[in-house]
């Protein structure tokens, strides 16, 4: 029973009422807990852009976590764009 070692690199754009100062540190902690490589490239009160790399299932978990997020933000939508294909 082999383990899937493929990784994806995706840009995640989070849109909503994101003005809480706690959200960006929360994103960093959540990505670290999942073991995802991540870089936040843009932050504003309405949009956050980050690049995440790791297994697809963990990126899915990151998206779900951000959509539920901390209580002091309201995420309207999360757009995901593949930056590159699989890499091993």
Q: List pLDDT tens digits, range 12-65.
A: 999 999 988 999 999 999 999 999 999 999 999 999 999 999 999 999 999 999
Q: Does 87 or 81 have the greater pLDDT score?
A: 81
Domains contained in the chain, number: 1
The reported pLDDT for the residue numbered 1 is 46
Please state, as a whole number, how many other Cβ atoms lie within 10 Å of the Cβ of residue 59: 22
54 found inside a domain: yes
46 found inside a domain: yes
31 found inside a domain: yes
* Mean local confidence (pLDDT), 68-83: 93
Chain centroid to Cα 46, Å, comes to: 15
- Is 6 a residue whose pLDDT tops 90? no
Residue 45 is encoded by which pair of tokens?
A: 């009160």
pTM of the model: 0.86
Placement of tokens 């930056």 in the chain: 83
Residue 83 is encoded by which pair of tokens?
A: 């930056």
Mutual orientation of helices 56-68 and 23-34 as an angle, nearest 10°? 150
The reported pLDDT for the residue numbered 87 is 47
Q: Which domain holds residue 59?
A: 21-76
């Amino acid at each position: 029973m082999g383990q899937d070692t493929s990784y994806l690199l995706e840009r995640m754009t989070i849109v909503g009422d994101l003005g809480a100062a706690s959200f960006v540190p929360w994103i960093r902690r959540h990505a670290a807990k999942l073991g995802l490589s991540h870089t936040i490239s843009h932050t504003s009160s309405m949009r956050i852009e980050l690049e995440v790399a790791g297994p697809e299932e963990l990126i899915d978990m990151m998206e779900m976590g951000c959509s539920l997020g901390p209580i002091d933000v309201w995420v309207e939508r999360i757009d995901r764009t593949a930056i590159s294909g699989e890499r091993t």
